Amino acid sequence: MIDLSIVKVHLRVDHDDEDALIEGYRDAALSAFETWTNRTLVDPAEALPDPVGNALRLSKSIQQGALLLIGHWYGGREAVVIGTITAELPMATNALWKPHRWVNV
C-alpha cells in the first residue's frame, strides 16, 4: 500500500541493499496500525467492502504515521539504548493514528 520508493525517500536510503528489511518494517507498521486501531486497511485504489464495517482506506495521515514508525525502527534497530540518558520520545504516530481508532460500544 505504501510504495517502497516513498519509504526509501523518507529514510534517505539510496541503495537497494536493505530493501527486504525496509519492506518488513513497512508491512509491520501497517499491521501495527490495524492492530492498534482495530481497523482493516484498504488500498486507496480499491473499493471498500460492503458493508464497510471497520474497513478504512489508507490516508495521508495513516501513511505519515507509518513512515514515522518505520523511521524510528530503521534508525534504532534495538529495543534498548545503552550508554545514554533515557527519555521517552513522543510518538507522533499516535497523534496521526488515534482519530482512526475503531471502538465497539
pLDDT for residue 85 is more than 80 = no
What's the average model confidence in pLDDT over 25-51? 95
84 lies in some domain: yes
Mean pLDDT of 71-79: 85
- Decide: residue 55, CB within 10 A, 0-12 exposed, 13-18 middle, 19+ buried: middle
How many domains is the chain partitioned into structurally? 1
* Full-model pTM: 0.84
Domain that holds residue 95: 4-100
Mean per-residue pLDDT, 49-76: 93
Q: Would residue 105 count as lying in a domain? A: no
Q: How confident is the model at residue 103, as a pLDDT?
A: 81
Distance CA 86, CA 84 (A): 6
Q: Is the pLDDT of residue 39 over 70?
A: yes
Q: What is the CATH number of the domain that holds 57?
A: 1.10.3230.30
